[in-house]
Amino acid sequence: MSKEMVDLPPKGGFSFDLCRRNDMLAKKGAKPPSFRKTGTTIVGLIFQDGVILGADTRATEGPIVCDKNCEKIHYMAPNIYCCGAGTAADTEAVTDMVSSQLQLHRYHTGRESRVVTALTLLKRHLFNYQGHVQAALVLGGVDFTGPHLHTIYPHGSTDTLPFATMGSGSLAAMSVFESKFREGLTRDEGIQLVAEAICSGIFNDLGSGSNVDICVITKGHKEYLRNHLLPNPRTYVSEKGYPFPKKTEVLLTKITPLKQKVEIIEAGDAMEE
Amino acid sequence: MMYGKGLKDYVEQVPGSRSGSLFSERTLYPYVTGTALVALVYRDGILMAADMGASYGSTLRYKTIERIKPVGKHSLLGASGEISDFQEILRYLDELILYDNMWDDGNSLGPKEVHNYLTQLMYNRRNKFNPLWNSLVLGGVKNGQKYLGMVSMIGVSFKENHVATGFGDHLARPILRDEWNENLSFEDAVKLLEKCMRILLYRDRSAVNKIQIVKITEEGTTNFPPYSLKTFWGFESYENPTAGEEGLW
């Protein structure tokens, strides 16, 4: 019987081996690098013929806006789109991953993807990582069973709703939905309501801002209205332009010869003392 | 040498206070709390709305608490947060109004003055690390001038045309910003307040469906009897949310 440890195959999920060392470093004052969060308002609602998803376009890194016009509505399948709030890397990676899994599944089955498939793939992945993958998603799409709208929380729980909001601006957007939503909205009314909800998030929440993106999904057809509304235009631009001098200015012309370098040769014994 | 925690570790003491007391001598957490409050200026005066509930942690303990009270002849005070601190503030204001009346000089404290007093009160308590755990809303009309202001528990104070405390800050303020205007009639103002209170009822877990609306105009205060809001739960999607997706929740 050997006393050596059997070499175990690496398990899936995160490895928390460095946590202790990170804690120790944090106590000594070393700050970990901050990550880009989307600090967002994302909404979805079900209207007469399908689903409308909306999102703002601001990405923040702490107090700074790092991307004024990012895309938060991600493609999952020709009939399914997903808005993401939370850590930008997590939402992008998770939606990309599930999108490719759906594509492979489509090749395998030869059928249009169902929204529940995307939902199950996403929630299984997120639950597996116990909330460490910080992606809060609003998933919407139309398949042969009808229009569906779901919210997925970072820990893996899901909700099936007629109207949903997520992100830091979710309360501002929810207040608009709660007061104005009704069933059986037409396409234009739905777009108007979604735009209003996102604008409410943009103007009342600091983590959301810039423009409104909208995606309308109906049976067999989708419309991605990128920058549907631009309520924050850059209004002042100087008419004279910003002239910069074409070359560096010459301030002074004076030639100073450098002094000649003199070599000192010491007597050989000096180093030994 | 002490093994384990000594008594000293359980006692929070304010410097200069009586040592050896068993319990905290400053406010650490609120216990019985009132939730959001919404108020706005309309054509003839101020309208304030609050629900009549007070929670003890996660229990809805009291359902007939009046969180809006008149102060003097010209003002209304509404509070969300710790109810006992609200009652204490009412006692302070009682004393203030009493002393003002004793002067008997024909002048009376208006909403602006009371607001100022409250700001000083809250800020001073906060500086002693012993806050009065409330968000106060002060509104009133004096000599035709309408006034509405808010003071938070740390002493932040400002004057605005529409205010909301607690959850109302996130849920009601966007609605008020969009739909408030200078010349709201009484009916329109009540409709707007009801809209905000309804959203709070849907989305705030500590809300109670029993609304108290109080109006103050140049003529005086009118306390309306409490009533419930109508709610709508009849969405088709609520009937069978997972239709077509067997096994989903």
Digit-coded pLDDT (tens) for A214-253? 999 999 899 999 999 888 888 887 788 777 777 777 888 8
Specify the range with the lowest mean pLDDT, choosing from A95-109, A168-182, B27-41, B229-243: B229-243
Q: Does B175 have pLDDT greater than 80? A: yes
Strand locations in chain B (E): 32-34, 37-41, 45-51, 54-56, 59-62, 68-71, 75-82, 134-142, 145-151, 157-159, 162-165, 211-217, 220-223
Specify the range with the lowest mean pLDDT, choosing from A99-103, A237-241, B186-190, B227-231: A237-241
Domain of residue B160, residue span: 30-231
At residue B183, the 3 state secondary structure works out as: coil
Q: What is the mean pLDDT of chain A?
A: 87
What's the pLDDT at A209?
84
Quick: pLDDT tens for A126-163.
999 988 999 999 999 999 989 999 999 999 999 998 99
User: Are A42 and A138 contacting, i.e. CB atoms less than 8 angstroms apart?
Assistant: yes
What's the pLDDT at A256?
86
Instruction: Give a yes or no: residue B195 inside a domain.
Output: yes
Query: Which residues of chain B make contact with A146, given a CB cutoff of 8 A?
Result: 243-244
Calpha distance A236→B238 (Å, rounded): 48
Distances from the Cα of B205 to the Cαs of A17, B113, B199, B200, B201, in angstroms? 40, 35, 11, 9, 8
Calpha distance A238→A217 (Å, rounded): 41
Q: Does B7 have pLDDT greater than 80? A: no
What's the pLDDT at A270?
55
Calpha distance B115→B136 (Å, rounded): 9
What's the pLDDT at A28?
85
What's the pLDDT at B65?
93
Instruction: Give a yes or no: residue B69 inside a domain.
Output: yes
Instruction: Give a yes or no: residue B39 inside a domain.
Output: yes
Question: What values do phi and psi take at B128, rounded to 5?
Answer: -90, 10
Q: Does B244 have pLDDT greater than 70? A: no
Q: Say which of A161, A171, A176 has its CB closest to residue B170.
A: A171
Residue A111 CB-density burial (10 A; 0-12 exposed, 13-18 middle, 19+ buried): exposed
Q: Does A169 have pLDDT greater than 50? A: yes
- Band the pLDDT of B101: cuts 50, 70, 90: very high
What's the pLDDT at A197?
95
Q: List b or e across A41-67, with b for residues whose CB sees 16 or more CB atoms inside 10 angstroms.
A: bbbbbbbebbbbbbbbbbbbeeeeeee
User: Are A199 and A231 contacting, i.e. CB atoms less than 8 angstroms apart?
Assistant: yes
Question: What values do phi and psi take at A228, rounded to 5?
Answer: -60, -40
Say if A2 is an interface residue toward chain B (CB within 8 Å): no
Query: Which residues of chain B make contact with A175, given a CB cutoff of 8 A?
Result: 170-172, 174-175, 199, 203
Q: What is the mean pLDDT of chain B?
A: 89
In terms of phi and psi (left: phi > 0; alpha: psi -120 to 50; beta: otherwise), the region of B104 is: left
State whether A179 and B199 contact (CB < 8 Å): yes
What's the pLDDT at A16?
78
Task: Give the CA dihedral A206, B36, B221, B104, nearest 10 degrees.
Answer: -80
This complex has an ipTM of: 0.80
Instruction: Give a yes or no: residue B6 inside a domain.
Output: no
Instruction: Give a yes or no: residue B218 inside a domain.
Output: yes
Average pLDDT for B85-95: 96
Active site residue B64: no
Tokens of A30: 């070393």
Looking at CA atoms only, how far is residue B182 from chain A in angstroms? Answer: 21
Instruction: Please name every residue paired with A244 in a beta bridge, in sequence order, or none if there are none.
Output: none
Average pLDDT for B117-144: 94
Instruction: Give a yes or no: residue B47 inside a domain.
Output: yes
Q: Is the pTM of this model over 0.90?
A: no
What's the pLDDT at A1?
47
Quick: pLDDT tens for A1-45.
444 455 555 566 677 778 888 888 888 887 766 666 667 899 999
Instruction: Please name every residue paired with B210 in a beta bridge, in sequence order, or none if there are none.
Output: none
Count of structural domains within chain B:
1
Average pLDDT for A107-111: 96
- The single residue of A38, A40, A151, A158 carrying the catalytic annotation is A40
Q: Which of residues 21-60 of A touch B (CB under 8 A)?
A: 46
Average pLDDT for B216-237: 91
For position B123, which CATH number holds?
3.60.20.10
Looking at CA atoms only, how far is residue B190 from chain A in angstroms? Answer: 15
Task: Give the CA dihedral B83, B88, B90, B95, nearest 10 degrees.
Answer: 180
Instruction: Give a yes or no: residue B19 inside a domain.
Output: no
What's the pLDDT at A242?
77
Instruction: Give a yes or no: residue B57 inside a domain.
Output: yes
